[in-house]
Amino acid sequence: MTLGSATPLSDVVSAEALEPASGGSARLALGREPDAYVSPGSVQEVVEVLEWARATSSAVLPVGTGAHVGDRRAERPYVALSTARMTGIEIYEPADLTLTAKAGTGLAELGGMTGEHRQWLPFDPMDAAKRTLGGLAAAGVTGPLWAGYGHVRNHVLGMTVVCGDGRALRLGGRVVKNVAGFDLIKPMVGSRGRLAVITAVTVRLFPVPTLDRVLVLEAADLASLVPTARAVATAPTLPASIVLSLSTGAASFLVRLHGADETVDADQRMLEAHAGVSFAAKEGTEAEALLAATRDAGADAEVLLYASTLPSQLGALLDSIQGALRGVDCVVVADVAEGCARVAFSGAGYSDAVLEMCAGVEALGGTVAVHRCPIDASPAALSTPLSPDAHEIGEGVKRIFDPSGVLL
């Protein structure tokens, strides 16, 4: 495959790198098939692919598993560059609570390794089992556990990346206190592959909590749970996560507590007294199943979007979402501490409802970002637009790392 160039891609990378692995998700999400699907096995092969792309004016879409790239559309021929062959843990120092792994390494594999040392990555984004470490860093998604542990960007200590023009950079390091030079990691985390291809990531780990307890409160609708949720979010103690969920018509409120047995017991008593409610408590496999079901609710829906505003306006945000989607069987998972709600649903005739939702959320000073929708629609057209200043800043940063605009 040459994309109009006299130099075929097969002359740039090995035959193994051109074997189609799992490009189906990327093809479906972008609305058109890539002209080639390449899976480099080394940083040098990534460099060669991007140098080839720049020389031939070709586009490249970096993917991990390819399952989470649905917020953009390919308007020109492109190559899907997968990190599927770049897997494995490079350095793991349990005593230092740090780990470096190649970008294509799955989070499940990392969890198995770190779990042997009672350590973990406290990130619980939707569809975590289908995410890679590089994809997690590129997406910049943490999940509701950010309330107790902070965002993923705060725990990425270093990374190796290849910019759109083929420059390979080693950013950060393997220590928590690393202040040498400019912090170039922050713009990379959450850039969704638009600045560079991430090839390896160093992260900070945490000890697995002695006790992981989930407090549960159920109701017929979300609105009746919002006052309790806000009371818990403003209590003197901060839970590991605070989530409101609506799925298959049932509403629930989940509060996750981590710590020693005595600490968790005391936190539960304090939260119940502060909020004036009595929670059902779940632990072990029962709690794990409930958390996983809530985390992944709506993962396969046709439409997936995120609406956010100030945490104090969470009730109004949820009212706006449900008002716009009245009559639609949807999943809503709200991070109470962050004031952000994930909304997922399937079916036709959704555009007007999403636009109505946008108007309502923006009236609250919030934003809506569509991450997935059918291929006949534009995610950007259904999302809150960036301000001109924010757009220019973003484009300026992209020009530094990807001056030829190779990366989609």
Distance CA 2, CA 8 (A): 4
Distance CA 334, CA 295 (A): 10
What is residue 68's three-state secondary structure? Answer: coil
Task: Give the pairing of strands 98-102 and 89-93.
Answer: antiparallel
Digits of tens for pLDDT over the chain (408 positions)?
A: 555 555 778 778 888 888 665 444 554 456 667 888 899 999 999 999 999 999 988 899 998 877 677 667 777 788 889 999 999 999 999 999 999 999 999 999 999 999 999 999 999 999 888 899 999 999 998 999 999 999 999 999 999 999 999 999 999 887 666 555 568 899 999 999 999 999 999 999 999 999 999 999 999 999 999 999 999 999 999 899 999 999 877 899 999 999 999 999 999 999 999 999 999 999 999 999 999 999 999 998 989 999 999 999 999 999 999 999 888 889 999 999 999 999 999 877 788 888 999 999 999 999 999 988 887 777 888 899 989 999 999 999 999 999 999 998
Could you give the count of Cα atoms lying within 13 Å of 128 in the half-sphere of its Cβ?
Answer: 20
User: Domain map of the chain by residue range?
Assistant: 9-82, 89-207, 211-382
What is residue 290's three-state secondary structure? Answer: helix
Instruction: Report the 3 state secondary structure along 230-288.
Output: HHHHCCCCCCCEEEEEEECCEEEEEEEEEECHHHHHHHHHHHHHHHCCCCEEECHHHHH
CATH number of 211-382: 3.40.462.20
Element (H, E) at 23: none
Q: Which CATH number fits domain 89-207: 3.90.1150.10, 1.10.3210.10, 3.30.465.10, 1.10.287.70?
A: 3.30.465.10
pLDDT of 101: 97
Distance CA 197, CA 193 (A): 6
CATH number of 9-82: 3.30.43.10
Fold identical between 9-82 and 89-207? no
Number of helices followed by number of strands (H, E) in the chain: 12, 18
Task: Give the pairing of strands 78-82 and 36-38.
Answer: parallel
Burial 80-97 (b: 16+ CB within 10 A, else e): bbbbbbbbeeeebeeeee
* Encoded tokens for 108: 């499940």
Query: Whole-model pTM?
Result: 0.90
